[in-house]
Structure 1
Amino acid sequence: MPEGDTVWQTAQRLHTALAGQTLTRSDLRVPRFATADLTGRTVLDVTPRGKHLLTRIEGGLTLHSHLRMDGSWQVYGSGERWRGGPAHQIRAILGNAANTAVGYRLPVLELLRTKDEEKVVGHLGPDLLGPDWDPDIALANLLADPSRPLGEALLDQRNLAGIGNVYKSELAFLARVTPWLPVGELPEGTPKRLVVTAQRLLEANKSSFDRRTTATERGTSGGPPVVGRRPGPRLHVYGREGMRCLRCGTPIRRADQGESGRERTTFWCPGCQAGPTG
């Protein structure tokens, strides 16, 4: 599932291509909204909310989409060949005279009244990249269930919106605890630092449009995370199963975490991170 910074980037691309322009093409390829015609309406803005995308359209309408694991929005210029996937994977097309936005494999796509947006995003906690970001509320949400494993608490979008599997694993590494350690057992001061670091990492990486440059590096001296563009390895543990930890040399491990049927892949260093493991 894309991280919050990836969704933010997608929203920026869509906003640049569509906002302020009149739709000359509209095709929603889901049964419930297949007959909806948005042509002739102006796109007002495209706003990210956590991992949700809200495309607001003239007339009090919002096209709500969520990428989940495999979905994507691609933007093509006039006459440009579409390369996002086969035609049967297209779920939405929004076009104007200059650009066409194509939504592929979108598991969530619905048209609703703008005034009803809270029905689909009102449950979310503070958005790490949004104007509603409030670290104190996010911290209180995380600490509300002390027995919950850290990894599960970080992924719960009701606590704070925008963290995915990558940042979950990396944040636990930076805190030197495993993702299975109960939130209530975190060392004093660690929960607050996790919240601040999470927002800082997503904020620093949101403008990196090459996903290979996402960075959460940290010096072996224990200094603050390094973010932004720099050569070398970009992540400490995520996707590095079997490779040696950049801090202590212990091979990185991988396991599933979460309730049955909703497990998420987790990476950690058994040498650097204290606590229970999966």
Structure 2
Amino acid sequence: MPEGDVLRRTAQRLDVALTGHVVVRSDLRWPSAATVDLVGTTVVGTRSYGKHLLTRFDDGRTLHTHLRMEGRWRVARTGSPQAAARSDEVRAVLATQEWTAVGYQLGMLDVVRTTDEHAVIGHLGPDLLGETVDAEEALRRWAARRATPVAEVLLDQRVVAGIGTIYAAESLFAERIWPWTPADAVRDPSRLLAVARRQMQQSVASGRPPGRVHGRLRQPCVRCGTPIAVGQARKPPMERPIFYCPRCQAPPTG
């Protein structure tokens, strides 16, 4: 599932293409929004919040989308073959005179009043890529998870929003923390969250995640040469793979 860095870059692309322009074509191929017409509105902007996207319009409405596993937004020149959006994978089309944004295989889609955005994202923790992060609130939510394995807490969008398997693994590797350490035994959760935030910010800027441990099963650790292993966070059907170095991230003694 795309993580916060990918959603931030997606929001930036939609922002550049659509913001300040009038919608000339609106096609929401979603049962609960099929009759919604956004033609004639002006796009105010698109922002990401964790793994969610919020596209706002000047009539006080917001298009909320979530990519889940397979979703993606693509931008094409209006009038081009790509902008025709004839694929049965298309779930949303927003077009201006110049650019057309096409949402494929979106996992969630809602149209809500902008003042009611909390109805779709209000359950989430602080956005780790927000301009500011409410660290006090994040730590309060962290503490409530008590002895839950730290990898699972990082993946919990109700604690902080935006981290997935990549940045859970990469931040834990950077701090040499065993992924199944109880959350209340992590010495400095705020430092760990700051590391994940910095890694994601760097990826937004470069387009590349760290790549030091995630997805490198049986390849040598970049620090010690030990083959990278993979374990499981959370229970089925919500299990997620967590890559780690058995030596650099050895279980705490005692």
With the shorter chain as reference, the TM-score category is over 0.9
Specify the alignment match of 2:123 in structure 1: 123
Preserved contact between residue 173 and residue 249 of structure 2 (Cα < 8 Å): yes
Specify the alignment match of 2:40 in structure 1: 40
Supply the distance in 1 between the matched residues of 2:191 and 2:132 (Cα, whole angstroms): 19
Supply the distance in 1 between the matched residues of 2:200 and 2:86 (Cα, whole angstroms): 32
Q: Deviations over 1:199-246 (max 9, x none)?
A: 22222221223xxx322xxxxxxxxxxxxxxxxxxx221010011111
Supply the distance in 1 between the matched residues of 2:125 and 2:33 (Cα, whole angstroms): 29
- Asked if 1:191 is matched to 2:189, the reply is yes
Specify the alignment match of 1:259 in structure 2: 235
- Asked if 1:162 is matched to 2:162, the reply is yes
Change (3 A) 1:145 1:39: same
1:273 paired residue among 237, 249, 253: 249
Change (3 A) 1:32 1:192: closer
> Displaced runs of 4+ in structure 1, greater than 6 A?
none
Change (3 A) 1:86 1:237: farther
1:214 paired residue among 184, 188, 209: 209
Letter in structure 1 aligned against 2:218: G
Specify the alignment match of 1:80 in structure 2: 80
- Asked if 1:16 is matched to 2:10, the reply is no
TM-score by length of 1: 0.86
Supply the distance in 2 between the matched residues of 1:42 and 1:80 (Cα, whole angstroms): 22
Change (3 A) 1:267 1:123: same
Task: Please state how far the C-alpha of 1:132 moved relative to its aligned partner.
Answer: 4.4
Supply the distance in 2 between the matched residues of 1:177 and 1:106 (Cα, whole angstroms): 34
The CA RMSD measured in Å over matched residues stands at 1.8
Q: Unmatched 5+ residue regions in structure 2? A: none
Supply the distance in 1 between the matched residues of 2:247 and 2:86 (Cα, whole angstroms): 45
Preserved contact between residue 67 and residue 106 of structure 2 (Cα < 8 Å): yes
How many residues align structurally?
Answer: 252
Supply the distance in 1 between the matched residues of 2:158 and 2:132 (Cα, whole angstroms): 13
Task: Please state how far the C-alpha of 1:137 moved relative to its aligned partner.
Answer: 2.5
Specify the alignment match of 1:25 in structure 2: 25
Task: Please state how far the C-alpha of 1:133 moved relative to its aligned partner.
Answer: 1.0
| Secondary structure at 1:46 match in 2 | strand
Specify the alignment match of 1:240 in structure 2: 216
- Asked if 1:52 is matched to 2:52, the reply is yes
Supply the distance in 2 between the matched residues of 1:178 and 1:199 (Cα, whole angstroms): 19
Task: Please state how far the C-alpha of 1:19 moved relative to its aligned partner.
Answer: 0.8
TM-score by length of 2: 0.93
